[in-house]
Homo-oligomer: A and B are copies of this chain.
Amino acid sequence: MTPPGPLSLNTVTVRDAWTLAQCIEGCARHGIPGISPWRDRLAELGVAAAARHLRDAGLHVTGLCRGGLFPAADATGRAAAIDDNRRAIAEAHAIGADCLVVLGGGLPPGSKDLPGARAMFHDGLAAVLPDARAAGVTLALEPLHPMTCADRSVLSTLAQALDLCDELGPGLGVAVDVYHVWWDPDLARQIARAGPRIAAFHVCDWLVPTIDLVFDRGMMGDGVIDIAGVRAMVEAAGWQGGVEAEILSRRWWAADPDAVLRLVKQRHAAC
């Protein structure tokens, strides 16, 4: 097994403890060469200031979280999501991010129309894709685990994301997060199909038991995902980028962030 590509810290991993500026300092202190910020933390610091900090720190920005979330109850809401994605694309460009991570969004409140919500996602994506192409920003479609389908992501599988890539064409890619796809019986085939469209590779782990559908992700190595196996698949598909650690976890949010970064580094080296 080859050693893993360079580590990137998704800032949500230390969401409650650190601002973006602190995350940038933390990466420098721990020798972590990559970072992937969330937009709320970017807004706090200001996009221009953040771009300067990131550049001065020499950090590789592996992604910006997050765009998408197109389904909405009415046309006004859908237009607002499209506008917001245009801003997100501009922000991703400004900070030199490898991609904008794009999430499906859930069903509009009160709706049971899943095909309808998926059509809204398709249409919103088609609306902002020209902006992404013009800015040179790859939109990385990230399917989330099916347990989030109702309220967070009607984009549920790599196959579904790649069908959208096939249909809508250049400017789109996929973000492969082991947490969201490890269970998929079709995983090996879809990763091979993705090939050069893999735009991000995220890791954490699936805990047994998992006690929360959103905020109980595990530190790499603490769960049951064969992370090295999935990494071998994405590398066989041509992925030469790094490994972004993204751990949404009440447990780790309550821990000392420097200790979390040390452990992330150890576990990254191990798997």
A151-B208, A151-B209, A213-B210 given; A114·B183 CB < 8 A: yes
Contacts of A225 in B (CB 8 A): 112
Interface size class of A (residues with CB under 8 A): 20 to 34
Please give the count of copies of this chain that the complex contains: 2
Contacts of A208 in B (CB 8 A): 150-151
Asked if A83 CB lies within 8 Å of chain B CBs, one says no
Asked if A217 CB lies within 8 Å of chain B CBs, one says no
Assembled-state Cα–Cα distance A150/B156 (Å): 18
- With both chains docked as a complex, state the minimum distance between the C-beta of A266 and any C-beta of chain B, in angstroms: 18
Q: Classify the secondary structure of A's interface with B.
A: loop
Contacts of A118 in B (CB 8 A): 185
| A146 B226 Cβ-Cβ under 8 A | no
| A147 B145 Cβ-Cβ under 8 A | yes
Asked if A132 CB lies within 8 Å of chain B CBs, one says no
Asked if A149 CB lies within 8 Å of chain B CBs, one says yes
Asked if A167 CB lies within 8 Å of chain B CBs, one says no
Residues of A within 8 A of B (CB): 107, 111-114, 118, 145-147, 149-151, 156-157, 159-160, 182-186, 206, 208-211, 213, 223-226, 229
Can you sample 28 A-B contacts with CB below 8 Å? A111-B224, A112-B226, A112-B229, A113-B226, A114-B183, A114-B226, A118-B185, A145-B147, A146-B147, A147-B147, A147-B210, A147-B213, A149-B183, A149-B206, A150-B183, A150-B206, A150-B208, A150-B223, A151-B208, A151-B209, A156-B184, A156-B185, A157-B184, A157-B185, A157-B186, A159-B185, A210-B213, A213-B213
